[in-house]
Amino acid sequence: DAGVIQSPRHEVTEMGQEVTLRCKPISGHNSLFWYRQTMMRGLELLIYFNNNVPIDDSGMPEDRFSAKMPNASFSTLKIQPSEPRDSAVYFCASSSGRLNEKLFFGSGTQLSVL
C-alpha cells in the first residue's frame, strides 16, 4: 500500500484566496483525521471522520475552514478565504479498528499564505 497520500506537498497562495488540501487514506481504514502543525501551537486535531461521517469538528478554527469526506478514499480540507495565520503544515492521518491508536500520517501539505 502507498500509505496516506496528501496533495499538494507545498501550497503558496495570497491572502483571501481559497485553498483546498486533499487526502487519500489507506485503503480499508475507516477513520480519518486532519491535523495542523505550527511552531506556536504544536499538533492540533482539526476534525475526525469515522466511516465518512464527521464525528468531532471541535478543533476547526472557524467558519473559514470546512472538511468533507465524500467517500472512503478521499477527503478535502478547504480554507476560504485564507489568511496569513493559516500558514502551517496540514497533516492527514488514517487508522483502522475501534481504538484509533495507531495513526498513519501522510507527508503533509506545507501551506504558506502571503
CB of 52 vs another protein, minimal distance in Å? 14
Residue 27: CB atoms within 10 A of its CB come to 11
Footprint of another protein on this chain (CB under 8 A)? 4, 31, 42-43, 45, 48, 50, 55-56, 91, 93, 98-108
Looking at the Cβ atoms of 16 and 28, the one nearer to another protein is 28
Looking at the Cβ atoms of 33 and 65, the one nearer to another protein is 33
Residue 90: CB atoms within 10 A of its CB come to 22
CB of 108 vs another protein, minimal distance in Å? 6
CB of 70 vs another protein, minimal distance in Å? 21
Q: Write out the E strands in the chain.
A: 5-7, 10-13, 19-24, 31-38, 42-50, 53-56, 65-71, 74-79, 88-95, 104-105, 109-113
